Structure 1
Amino acid sequence: MTARNPVADPRPASDVSSAVGFVGVGGLCAWILFCHFYPEIASLLGLSAERGRLTGPMAALFGLVAAALPMVLWSVLVDKVHRRPSTGIDWDNPRPVADIIDISITKLAGLWATWALIAGLYCLGRWYWDDFYAISMQVLGLAAVPLFLLSIPYVIWLDRVLVEPRDASWHFGAALVGREAHDPQMIWIHLRAWAVKGFFTAFMIAIVPAAFAELVGKDWSDQFANPVAFAGILVLLMFVFDEQIGTVGYILTMKPLDAQIRSANPYLAGWVAALACYPPFQLMQGGGPLFYQSNTADWTFWLGEYPALMWGWAGLLVLLTAIYAWATIAFGIRFSNLTYRGVLTNGPYAYTRHPAYLSKNAFWWVSVLPFLVTSGSLVDAVRNTFFLGCVSAIYFWRAKTEEAHLLGEDPKYGEYHAWMNRHGLITAPLHQLWQGIAGRRSPVLQAAE
């Protein structure tokens, strides 16, 4: 079958504009520059520069604000996302408070019970009280009371304009109160969505400070003198973009911004595949069953005697990390794992359905070179290669479970999925290759003569 002309067969429109994520990156870059050059700025303004560069956790967390605020303003003022029907909001016909107050009280009961449940799980999970998660627990603990108080006017205000205020949170509250009929399916939708927020928000907050501090604290003047430093600073910058924009996505799951979690993945396989990639369930970390770096020495060791090749390799690593960061930036305020929050078809998603997974795994293969080991052991080389192959297989599994989820949620994703099979720069050739392999494996049965 001949692929259709992409001009006559246009790609489905994206629910996220191309610009919103880069506006957030712009705000974040401005904050990074301010933090790095704070001593010079302070001296220029006649202030004390004893503090040095702003590398502390509070500076890193304020980076979330610096990234989020421009994206929110762009989303509302330019993209006008608050006016989309997918928000479920009718701004022009607000109800009187008296008409919705009972609904809001029930919803608040469900919301507060959910937060209490998440807090209880944080208390039970002893890993949340290790050093890695300490900043997350501090931030969430400080935010608890303000969120509790602000949730009251927010829920009442939102219920006045929601077309259907009896949403998944309300159904959970109704089940707890026990006075109104509720839909168990809606309760599961609510619990899955908050499971995603509870698990991943804590993780994302935890990883934000370290990379930010390293980036801001570095001496940038000598970072482009050799390929190792060049790759290191730019890869670090891309990771900071990814972490900051991604964390904003988990925080801003709000209907007025059309960024609500419409559903979380209902498939157990999707959760297993995703959680296997994150602590405390991570399989590929040091000591884990899929650890693939035994006696490895990464690319700088093996290519150190070839300067030209080192520069090329460094450029490739930066490119792969840039694609990975772009895949997060393209989501704008909607990034989160295991969720459906609209259909994204632009940016790197115009070339492959899973640019983050593809670039991340390619980065690991290219940077670690698992088949080269300092021990000289063929067994180590085979093991490392096999286990990194297993890691890549897990990400392939994640991709397929995500596709199954989205195909069941939105016909537009089905259109995008099919379009990519026809025209995706990376996806289409792979799809054709797979179709060819599947065709050879499954010969057409011939009628008996």
Structure 2
Amino acid sequence: MYHDATLAAHSAADPRPSSAVSHGVGIAGMAGLTLWLVACLAIGMDGPYAALVGLLASGLPMVGWSLLVDKVHRSPTTGIDWSVKRTFAETRDISLTKLAGLYVTWGGIAIIYGVGRFYWEGNFAFAMWCFSWAVPIVALVAVPYVLWLDRHLVEPHDGAWHLGAWLTGQRGVDRQAIHGHLRSWAVKAFFLAFMLAVVPGNFGGFIRTDLSGLRDPVALAQWLIALMFVIDVGFATVGYILTLRPLDSHIRSANPFAAAWTAALMCYPPFILMEAGGPLDYHPGTQEWTDWFAGHPMLMSAWGAVLVVLTAIYAWATVAFGLRFSNLTHRGILTHGPYAFSRHPAYLSKNLFWWLSTLPILTTGSVIDAVRATALMGVVSGIYYWRARTEERHLGLDPVYREYSEWMTRRGAVPRFFRWMVAR
């Protein structure tokens, strides 16, 4: 989702850099999720357990494709050299130190969850229930996993090790590595809780739709939009869960810039500014597109089709990540799918959807209400522009991203379109 180095030379075709993820990963995940959704629609399974199985239905095919077809475990970017086989005695102390760092990190996250009453109310209570079952299992599996993996890592002294070494008074501690480790886990803890909180509602709402009413173009459009959000949330949740080196989906770095965290957290609870009653709530005095176009069936159908396409692009942008979706992190540079046309297709399509679905310039109140709603939505779009720029600043530390960004500036369809608009 992110992309900018100066290229020494380009071929006549000016090819963009290769993507860190293949098309096949997303296709495999979509196939698995589609089969599960069809089964749930046929049987009427719409509960939270069915939603969790949906994560497995998309995640397992992606893991299989990544290992068996793409063979990502052999990629040098994993930091693993399978030809290196240190003995258990050689890596035992490293692994134990790393496990100490991990357990302290998880304990700190548990304290934050426990103190934050917000996490035990509403939809977030489901996420806490999931964690209460999963964490003991993860804590046990982490021991053999770390002991096994450290025998093959090129550099086993990662951020978790540096934290454990600092806690146990060892030498050679790199505080920057500790900061990077804590930032990465902060991202995962914050966003995974949010994703798990919304998975059941999205899934159940889609499955429970009365299919007999889909002959109505508006109902069909709304059902398809709901489907796109089921896909988006499902793939995103899988991405936050499977941050593993053998899958080459580990976090290379978490965004180190405070501005990036500020811009991102504004868009998610409990810090969200755009929710009902929030300072950037643009909804008062507005109505949805279905109200504005009531009585104009052709226009309503066309408008609904556009909104479906925009949400499809949004979901496509998430699917393109495969196992690597995550906010505020670098987990490999994407150049395929919608990222072949725009640096930030998800933000672009999401904001266009909001503008077209709400039409804030129209109002049920006064002209002041229309001006206020339009201005506030403009601020919301500005925040997403800010998010995009802070992400580019972070990813721009990687020369692969700089190469991609430079290619996108010259050859990307969306940047070229905006240049054409400015020229006109």
**Which residue does the alignment assign to 1:43?**
none
Q: Please report the TM-score for the alignment, with normalisation by the length of structure 1.
A: 0.91
Given that 2:221 and 2:308 are in contact with CA atoms closer than 8 Å, whether structure 1 keeps it comes out as yes
- Kindly indicate whether residue 14 of structure 2 is the aligned counterpart of residue 9 of structure 1: yes
Q: Which has the larger radius of gyration?
A: 1
**Which residue does the alignment assign to 1:109?**
100
Which among 281, 300, 324 is matched to residue 290 of structure 2? 300
Q: Could you list the per-position Cα deviations for residues 87-136 of structure 1 after superposition, in whole angstroms to 9, with x for gaps in the alignment? A: 00011221111110000000000000000000111112111011120100
* Structure having greater relative contact order (Cα 8 Å, sep ≥ 6): 2
Given that 1:292 and 1:385 are in contact with CA atoms closer than 8 Å, whether structure 2 keeps it comes out as yes
- CA displacement at 1:370 relative to structure 2: 1.0
Q: What secondary structure does 1:332 align onto?
A: coil
Given that 1:421 and 1:431 are in contact with CA atoms closer than 8 Å, whether structure 2 keeps it comes out as no
Letter of the structure 2 residue corresponding to residue 336 of structure 1? S
**Which residue does the alignment assign to 1:402?**
391
Query: 1 CA distance for matches of 2:294 and 2:399?
Result: 51
- CA displacement at 1:432 relative to structure 2: 7.2
Q: What secondary structure does 1:334 align onto?
A: coil
Q: 1:274 to 1:10 in 2, by over 3 A?
A: same
Unmatched 5+ stretches in structure 2:
1-8
Q: 1:5 to 1:423 in 2, by over 3 A?
A: farther
**Which residue does the alignment assign to 1:423?**
411
Q: Could you list the per-position Cα deviations for residues 321-345 of structure 1 after superposition, in whole angstroms to 9, with x for gaps in the alignment? A: 0000000000000000000001000
- Kindly indicate whether residue 351 of structure 2 is the aligned counterpart of residue 361 of structure 1: yes
Q: Could you list the per-position Cα deviations for residues 1-26 of structure 1 after superposition, in whole angstroms to 9, with x for gaps in the alignment? A: xxx99852101100011121121011
- CA displacement at 1:179 relative to structure 2: 2.0
Q: What secondary structure does 1:131 align onto?
A: coil
Query: 2 CA distance for matches of 1:431 and 1:111?
Result: 48
**Which residue does the alignment assign to 1:70?**
61
- Kindly indicate whether residue 238 of structure 2 is the aligned counterpart of residue 248 of structure 1: yes
**Which residue does the alignment assign to 2:374?**
385
Which among 235, 244, 247 is matched to residue 225 of structure 2? 235
**Which residue does the alignment assign to 1:27?**
32
Given that 2:217 and 2:301 are in contact with CA atoms closer than 8 Å, whether structure 1 keeps it comes out as yes
**Which residue does the alignment assign to 1:220?**
211
**Which residue does the alignment assign to 1:58?**
49
Query: 1 CA distance for matches of 2:26 and 2:95?
Result: 33
Given that 2:150 and 2:156 are in contact with CA atoms closer than 8 Å, whether structure 1 keeps it comes out as yes
Q: What secondary structure does 1:337 align onto?
A: coil
Q: Please report the TM-score for the alignment, with normalisation by the length of structure 2.
A: 0.96
Residue correspondences, number: 416
Query: 2 CA distance for matches of 1:428 and 1:173?
Result: 49
- CA displacement at 1:180 relative to structure 2: 2.6
**Which residue does the alignment assign to 2:307?**
317
Unmatched 5+ stretches in structure 1:
39-52, 438-449
Identity of aligned residues (%): 55
Query: 1 CA distance for matches of 2:419 and 2:176?
Result: 35
- CA displacement at 1:222 relative to structure 2: 2.6
**Which residue does the alignment assign to 1:139?**
130
Query: 1 CA distance for matches of 2:248 and 2:42?
Result: 36
- Kindly indicate whether residue 194 of structure 2 is the aligned counterpart of residue 203 of structure 1: yes
The more displaced of 421-430 and 147-156 is: 421-430
The more displaced of 245-254 and 208-217 is: 208-217
Q: Could you list the per-position Cα deviations for residues 280-314 of structure 1 after superposition, in whole angstroms to 9, with x for gaps in the alignment? A: 00000001000000021111111111111111101
- Kindly indicate whether residue 404 of structure 2 is the aligned counterpart of residue 413 of structure 1: no
Report the aligned-residue RMSD: 1.5
Which among 332, 341, 351 is matched to residue 322 of structure 2? 332
Given that 1:6 and 1:423 are in contact with CA atoms closer than 8 Å, whether structure 2 keeps it comes out as no
Q: Could you list the per-position Cα deviations for residues 226-271 of structure 1 after superposition, in whole angstroms to 9, with x for gaps in the alignment? A: 2210111100000000000000000000000000001000000000
Letter of the structure 2 residue corresponding to residue 21 of structure 1? G
Runs of 4+ in 1 over 4 A off after TM superposition: 4-7, 431-434
